[in-house]
Structure 1
Amino acid sequence: MQLLLMALAPIFIIIFYIYLKDKYEKEPKRLLIISFLLGAIVSIIITTLLYSVFNTLVPLQDKLSVWEQFKQAFFVVGFSEELSKFLIVLLFAQQRKEFNEPFDGIVYAVMVSMGFAATENVMYVMQSGHATALARAFTAVPAHATFGILMGYFMGKAKFAPNKLYLNLLGLLSAILFHGAYDFFLFINFIPGIWIGAIISLGIGLYLSKKAIKYHQQSSQFKDTRETIS
């Protein structure tokens, strides 16, 4: 039970943080829960299927090859996981009438991402213990949140823009880029000290995520209404 709580605590801290940042027109809790569950179940299933395809088509030939690990990080793991989340946001959340401001892209993408991260984190933590739970609470879980925020930033803009396809794909590509970069530096840990690249990648992702949240907050069409009422 303690390991389960340690695995899920950082997930729900991030969810609560994003919920508070949705200042002007909060999303229905029902849709947030559904998005989370879709990420925790459907996204994991899609990712598993994609892994099977990629591991057949692009098998890892040499664990000590930088190029092989680059392919794994960006084209297998990054692409598979972020595409699975992207499809749920695109086909479920973005179609809802409640998705009525750009910030909602961030909210729903983070909910899906945290659902995915919850399942993944429970699996890792239950297998590897307290040290893994603590390490992932400050690395992998926030990383998944940044991937979701960056994806959601562009998908939020896409909902209300004429160039929807371009912005949606930009959201997907930005998540893949940061996910791939983060994993790549961890995958090539046979190079001493290279893991610091993952921390730098995460730091950049956190910085851009903060700016994305602030931008959509300030540009919300509900901002003036709420401030007038207050």
Structure 2
Amino acid sequence: MWLLSMLTAAVAPGIALLAYFYLKDRYDAEPIHMVARMFIIGALIVLPIAVIQRGLTLELGESPFVQAFLVSAGIEEAMKWFVLYHMIYNHTEFDEPYDGIVYAAAVSLGFATLENVLYALLLPASFGSLLLRALLPVSGHALFGVLMGYYIGKAKFASARSGRYLAASFLIPLFWHGAFDYILLVFKQYWMLLMVPLMAYLWFRGGLKIRRANDRSPFRSIPREDEIKMQRIRP
């Protein structure tokens, strides 16, 4: 029973956040099986990322800057970007800008969820520590995914400068992820003083990206099914 409770606490934040971002798609929701597939792939890349990170740590040392921006953020965001670009970018289901956010969030949250499960199983985790991880690493990965997906969506549907947006889809989440990890590595005592405003800003910025991506949907002018039903029942 204890193990089941811990696993539930480890998995629930990622599922809840994924549902939140999925339901934010206002015009053309993605197939559930596609979103679930990207979530699972995000979980599967945890092991190869861990191997690469271990090798880089042995080679480059444990400098906080190197660990934060190269070993942690660099490898993780590069692998997520690789998956999105090669499996989703040219997929027929990627047919509006917001889809990039949904799929990037799915990959990121799959990664964060399995990482959370391993944390619960391998370390002496408590419900308090899992709650803290839900508020910080899990939601952090989700927000980095939102930024990545937003710019991938811009690149997909831009009439020009798609290469610039593709670069931004990797470099911008890399920067914020690196800053996130650098705070945790360097500011041992007062990290909350920096982390709280950082997370508040990322949530604010993520909300803006979600709204802008939805506003660019080519399906905005097409009435949704619920709107059609309302029109039919109005006198």
TM-score norm. by structure 2 comes to 0.89
Q: Distance in 2 between matches of 1:168 and 1:226?
A: 31
Q: 1:123 aligns with which of 118, 122, 144?
A: 118
Q: 1:34 aligns with which of 27, 32, 37?
A: 37
Q: 1:8 aligns with which of 6, 11, 18?
A: 11
Show the counterpart of 2:232: none
Show the counterpart of 2:88: 93
Q: Distance in 1 between matches of 2:171 and 2:147?
A: 10
Letter in 1 for 2:107: V
Q: 1:103 aligns with which of 79, 98, 118?
A: 98
Matched residue SS, 2:191 = coil
Q: Distance in 1 between matches of 2:111 and 2:180?
A: 17
Q: Distance in 2 between matches of 1:108 and 1:115?
A: 10
Aligned pair 1:155/2:175, yes or no? Answer: no
Show the counterpart of 2:135: 138
Q: 2:169 aligns with which of 168, 171, 189?
A: 171
Q: Distance in 1 between matches of 2:156 and 2:52?
A: 27
> Any gaps of 5 or more consecutive residues in structure 2?
229-235
Letter in 1 for 2:202: G
Q: Compared with structure 1, are the counterparts of its residues 90 and 141 closer, same or farther at alpha carbon in structure 2 (3 Å cutoff)?
A: same
RMSD over equivalenced CA pairs, Å? 1.6
Q: Distance in 1 between matches of 2:15 and 2:94?
A: 22
Cα deviation, residue 196, structure 1: 2.2
Matched residue SS, 2:146 = helix
Deviations 1:111-136 (A, max 9, x none): 00010011101111232222211111
Cα deviation, residue 165, structure 1: 2.5
Q: Distance in 2 between matches of 1:194 and 1:37?
A: 32
Q: Distance in 1 between matches of 2:55 and 2:162?
A: 29
Letter in 1 for 2:74: F
What is the percent sequence identity of the aligned residues?
A: 31
Deviations 1:152-184 (A, max 9, x none): 000011112233322112011111111111111
How many residue pairs get matched?
Answer: 221
Q: Distance in 2 between matches of 1:179 and 1:226?
A: 38
Deviations 1:31-79 (A, max 9, x none): 11110111000x213312321342133111xxxxxxx212211111010
Q: Is the 8 A contact 1:182 1:197 kept in 2?
A: no
Q: 2:20 aligns with which of 17, 20, 29?
A: 17
Q: Is the 8 A contact 2:40 2:110 kept in 1?
A: yes
Q: Is the 8 A contact 2:57 2:67 kept in 1?
A: no
Cα deviation, residue 12, structure 1: 1.0
TM-score norm. by structure 1 comes to 0.91
Letter in 2 for 1:80: I
Show the counterpart of 1:59: 61
Q: Distance in 2 between matches of 1:195 and 1:187?
A: 12
Show the counterpart of 1:180: 178
Matched residue SS, 1:156 = helix
Show the counterpart of 1:63: none
> Any gaps of 5 or more consecutive residues in structure 1?
61-67
Q: Is the 8 A contact 2:101 2:153 kept in 1?
A: yes
Q: 1:210 aligns with which of 200, 207, 212?
A: 207
